[in-house]
Amino acid sequence: MLIGIDARVLERTRTGISRYLMNLLNVWNNTQEDIKFILYFKDKIPTDLQLNENVFETVLLKIPNFINKGLIWENLILPFRCMKDKIDIFFSPHYTLPLIKPANKLAVTIYDISYVAHPEWVPFRNRYIQSFLSYIAAKRANKIITGLQFGKSEISKYFNVKPESINVVYAAAHEKFKPGITTDRINQLKNKYNLKNKVILSIGLVMNRRQQDIIIKSIKTLSQDRKDISFVLIGENRTFPYMDIDKLILDLNLNNVVKYIPYLPEEEIVDIYNLADLYVYISLYEGEGLPLREAMACGLPAVISPIFKEVTGNAGYIVNTPIDANNLATSINKMLDDSTLRQSIIAEGLKRNSLFSWEKCAQETLNVFKSI
């Protein structure tokens, strides 16, 4: 079986979908099955892939800069090359498929459709294009892969797709995410970022639905009584309507309490999870919860919104009204100070995390391909 993959996401900073695809490739790199993959790139072939040449082929479809637009590349250049290569299945890990059919069988990963369910969070041009292209992809795909049962129900509801054509394949934390950090490393990072004794953490693109502004306001409430906390917010600002995070921190006089880092070096991510005392993820809409899985794998307890119950099971402290900053502050305070509750949630998180792996995710994804 020859599978073609739109691998453009690997050309940029590895977050979200690019990390998802990279983890799949790392497992497929060792496959013993009669399967081969062709990875198609638009601008460059990353030098860090270290792929098995017996399993993978990489193809760079570079076109002149004056026509080097993503839509042209995806919908014209890519499908004709796939036809030439006579692939059996085309797989897109990121929501859309070429309008010209690149293979007889098509699979696409769609993790969430917030741009359809909540268009107020997305600029008009972006949501119009994304909604149209992902709707067409969902209708044309033989199989849709998504990350949660919630996402499956949303895709079926808004795109009018039969549930049996949607497969839920759970992602996992990479094996590098695990408990363990030296005191020297903790001190090094705390000194580097000027962090206090208790560290509250949130990682992920800054988006309106993830309510990082509510977290910051809850930190303001906490900081009035507690002088031992720091809040570390990591993620590029993709808000709409735009939320000026730096201004909010300044206006609330939290410069010495909140550390906003748009992008953290890859080599520091595992250690940041490990030095933190609490993870906060109160999103109102998600199709997956990969940062939450990573936190659980590192033994970091989490305060979460109800939507993440499917990810955490009993390994999370649920805030039923995540839009209430005062209520969130109370929950954070309890989780910082209640050692019995913390240890219970940490143990449940490690147990829950053991149910998932990228090996399992990659094999189940291959099974989806085989089914079509």
Same fold, 2-172+357-371 and 183-353: yes
How far apart, in whole angstroms, are the C-alpha atoms of residue 309 and residue 316?
A: 8
- CATH class as words, domain 2-172+357-371: alpha beta
Give the pLDDT of residue 255: 96
The tens place of each residue's pLDDT in the chain, 372 residues long, gives 999 999 999 998 777 789 899 999 999 999 888 999 999 999 999 999 989 999 999 999 988 776 667 788 999 999 999 999 999 999 999 999 999 999 999 999 999 899 999 999 998 888 888 899 999 999 999 999 999 999 999 999 999 999 999 999 999 999 999 999 999 999 999 999 999 999 999 999 999 999 999 999 999 999 999 999 999 999 999 999 999 999 999 999 999 999 999 999 989 999 999 999 999 999 999 999 899 999 999 999 999 999 999 999 999 999 999 999 999 999 999 999 999 999 999 999 999 999 999 999 999 999 999 999
Helices first, then strands: H and E counts in the chain: 15, 13
Residue 337 amino acid letter: D
Other CB atoms closer than 10 Å to residue 220's CB: what's the count? 20
SS3 361: helix
Question: What type of residue sits at position 349?
Answer: G
The residues pairing with 40 across neighbouring beta strands, listed in sequence order, are 6, 59
Alpha carbon distance 74, 49 (integer Å): 22
Query: Are 128 and 329 a contacting pair, CB within 8 Å?
Result: no
pLDDT value of residue 68: 62
Delimit the domains of the chain by residue range.
Answer: 2-172+357-371, 183-353
Q: What are phi and psi of 305, to 5 degrees?
A: -85, 160
pLDDT at 352: 94
The torsion defined by the Cα of 314, 316, 321 and 322, in degrees rounded to 10, comes to: -150
Angle at 306 between CA 327 and CA 295, to 5 degrees: 90
| Continuous segment of H or E residues that includes residue 230 | strand 229-234
Q: Residue 66's pLDDT is what? A: 67
d(CA 361, CA 355): 11
183-353 homologous superfamily: Glycogen Phosphorylase B; (3.40.50.2000)
| Per-residue pLDDT tens digits for 318-365 | 999 999 999 999 999 999 999 999 999 999 999 999 999 999 999 999
- The percentage of the chain sitting over the pLDDT mark of 90, rounded to a whole number, equals 88
Query: 38 to each of 25, 60, 93, 360, how far by Cα in Å?
Result: 11, 10, 14, 22
165 three-class SS: helix
Q: What is the mean pLDDT of the chain?
A: 94
Q: What is the 3-state secondary structure (H, E, C) of 80-124?
A: HHHHHHCCCEEEECCCCCCCCCCCCEEEEECCCCHHHHCHHHCCH
